[in-house]
Every structure is written in structure tokens, then in C-alpha cells.
A and B are shown apart, each in its own frame.
Chain A
Amino acid sequence: MKRRLVLALSLVFCLLYLCSCATFAQSLQVWAYDTLCTAKVWGGTNPSSVFSEAAAEGQNLISPKGDKQFYAQKAGDSLPLTEDLARILRQAEVLCEKTEGVFDLTVAPLSDLWDVNSATEPPSSEAVGEVLSRVGWDKLIRTDSALIFPERGMGIDIGSVGKGYGADKTVLALKAAGAEAGVLSFGGNVALFGSVNGEPFRVGIRDPKGSAGETFGELRLTDTSVVTSGGYERFFDYEGTRYHHLLDAKTGYPRQSDLLSVTVACADGAQADLASTALWLMGEEKGLALYEALCENPLFRPFDVIFLCEDGRVLVSDGLKDAFTLTSQNYRWEKP
């Protein structure tokens, strides 16, 4: 009798022990979008293979070969539109209109000209002027099923949008495989789902002026994507001037903004990426107006923003007020 009791107790104990082990997170990683994509996933069957398959899917947003750019090889080349791509491009179109052409996905040939990742000096103004003539969303012809490029050498670059899109797809795939929770980071694009022990996840937002790993704030969130844009991410310095990767499609030169960074939290990762870039390009005043306009727009899902201003102020939209914590003494959280 006593033996049976002890045996039963030890069995229950072992079972509990094993159960608790099963909820440990798996750390996964895969190389895609020319960057390291990592994830921590709780639960689910075989999350590692689901992850590596789904993570790369976003690369095929514009072509099954995994290109992140599309260039017209001759006048009249067209890019076939999938449903998802069409939705993303409709949003990009709205942003292009509302920013009066400063934000423009057809900036691809300009980005390649500047090539801030490897360049050491800016291109000549003639070269910029020449390439600028091949930039402009309004030049494109859009049908229901395709995007037609009227000129050779025009193109669109949706590399970064693809990351947000791919992260969303990966979250869906992991959820379908039974995963309870996860934190995905695709080269700085973060997607969150579920929760561990009922706690939201913690996302640190990098301090553009601090060293690596330093943050100016933290967000406690789940079931959302978080993307930050800013001119500090990729740049080169030439003769005392900093040239970064966020180009003004109107002028062809890096845009001057009075924002250090814009962080967007949105259930749609692709939208978060588009919106954060466009808002940063607009600067504080116009950016706030643009944010309000986008909140009204039915093409955009509801989203929240954090503006980090050059003068050290931090502006947080209402939906993130409870989720945000300031973590740096160098900035002030302006509460209206």
C-alpha cells in the first residue's frame, strides 16, 4: 500500500517534470533576406523545420526566385501581382500620395546608385539626376493583375517589406503547427505571438545615439509586429557629411528628418515596415499628421507609433502608453 503510494507519487512527479520541460523555448535561426532571422518558439510540433521553410517564403513576394527587387528589362515589362503583393502596393501607393512622392517604392534604381552599404562617396549629381528620371510611382501603370513599367531600368525594391511580410507568414505557419508563443526577429523586424506564463514579451527599442544593445525604451507587447526605421541604421560618412539609406524620392538625396527613429507596432508586419519608413521621412510635424490620416484610412490596419525626436522628446501614441517604458536618461517622454 505504502509502496504503491510512493510509486504513484514519484510517477506523478516525473510526469510533471517532463511536462514542464516541454514548454521550454526552442531557439531557431535561418539565413534569409540577406540577414539572420532568429526566433524563440514555445511549443508546437517540429517548429524548426516549419520555421526555416516559412521564414524564407516572404522572399518570394515579388518573384518565386527570391529576388527582393524587380527591374524592368525593357519598356513595358510587367510584374504580376498576387493578392498579398497587390494589398501591400495599394498601401505603398497611399503613402506615396500622402508624402507627395517622398516615399516611393520605385526608388530602387536610386538606392542601387547610392548603395550606402558599400559606398564610400556620394554619386555625382548628374548620375542622381539621370536615375531620378526613372523614379516615380505615377509613371507606372497598374492593372488588377500586374504592375507595368513603361521604361527600361525602372524597378521596385520591397526587400524590407518582405521581411515584415515573411515574419507574419512565419507566425501563421508556427501557430498552425501548434506553437503557443514566439518571438521572431528578422533582421530588426520583430513579430510576436502568444505569451509565456501569461506575460507579454519585452521588446527593446535601440537608442540611435547609444552603443549596440542600448535602448531608449521598452515595449511589453504580444500578437503584433514591431518595426523601427531611422537614418542611423545604414549610412556612410563622406567629408563630414552623413549619407544614410532613407532616400527622398523627390530629390534623390538622403532625406533630412528631425526624427531619430520611428517605431511602429501593427498586426501587419509589412504595413509596419512601410509606415515606419514613410513616417520617418516626413519628420515630426508632417509625420504626426500623416499618422492621423492613416488611422482614418480603411486600407490601413490600426497601428501605433513611437516618435523619437532629435531634441530628445519621445512621443507615444495612445495605444502604446501602457506598454511603453522609458529606459534612458537621455530622452524625455512627452505626455500631452
Chain B
Amino acid sequence: MNRNVRIWDLVLIIALVALCTVPLWFPSSEGAYATVSVDGAIVTRLPLSEDTSFRLEDGTLLVVRDGTIWVEESQCPDGLCHEMGRISREGQTILCLPNRISIVISGEVDAYVG
């Protein structure tokens, strides 16, 4: 075993840690809102910053917690939307085709007018 700690060990560790910060290089695309639509019509827009739950008319239960949203309960036969898990980043989508529900994450806007 190489008993001497070498400068290269430090280089390696620093390089690896730096490599792990790659996601920080890009502007964070964490989502800010989840837009819930049924049949293409917007039903609600939930801010991901507030922990809440939302029940759709057909009984589907959505839960928002820790900046993520997921389908907790669903009436659909295949239950896929429940298995699509938690989404939190911009552009991610949960689709429930039997119930025609879509949940799309959108990011914070860059500016407001009005």
C-alpha cells in the first residue's frame, strides 16, 4: 500500500468534488409552479414553495411537499400517474391519460410586467 499521501490525492479529491458541482454551474432550473390541467384547460396552478394538497373533481389527489408534486391517489385503472413519482424540475410532466390530467412544472419567470 502506498503509505505516502501525495499531492495527487488532493488533486483527485478536489477534481472529483468540483466535478460533482457540475449541476451548480447551470442556472438552477428547479420548478416554481405546477400547472394542473384537465382536458387541456387549466384547473389550478400550485406554487411548489407551499406544502399543500389538491383534490381534483374526479377524486385524484395531488400532494405538494418540499418543492415536489406527485399524484397520491388516482382513480385511473393503470395507476401509472401514481408511479411517475415526484416531479420538481422545470419541464417535467406527469400525465394521466385515462383521466386526461397533465401536471407540468414551470420555472420562476425572469421578470414581471403590469
Contact = CB atoms under 8 A, between A and B. Distances in A.
Given a CB threshold of 8 Å, the question of whether A touches B is answered with yes
Contacts of B27: 25, 196-197
Given A6-B11, A218-B106, A203 B42 contact: no
A98 interface: no
B44 A226 contact: no
Interface in B63-114: 106-114
B35 interface: yes
A263 B111 contact: no
B25 A20 contact: yes
Interface string A166-210: 000000000000000001110011101000110001111110100
Contacts, number: 84
Contact of A13 (B15, B43, B44): B15
Contacts of A82: none
A321 to B, nearest CB: 16
Contacts of B26: 197
A328 B27 CA distance: 26
A208 B27 CA distance: 30
Contacts of B106: 218, 325, 327
A304 to B, nearest CB: 13
Interface of B: 8, 11, 15, 18-19, 25-27, 33, 35, 41-45, 106-114
Given A21-B25, A202-B111, A218-B106, 8 more contacts: A6-B8, A183-B110, A190-B113, A197-B26, A201-B110, A202-B107, A204-B111, A208-B114
27 contacts: A6-B11, A13-B15, A17-B18, A21-B25, A40-B110, A185-B112, A188-B113, A190-B113, A192-B111, A196-B27, A197-B26, A201-B110, A203-B111, A204-B112, A205-B113, A206-B114, A215-B109, A215-B112, A218-B106, A218-B109, A226-B113, A230-B114, A233-B114, A327-B42, A327-B106, A329-B41, A329-B43
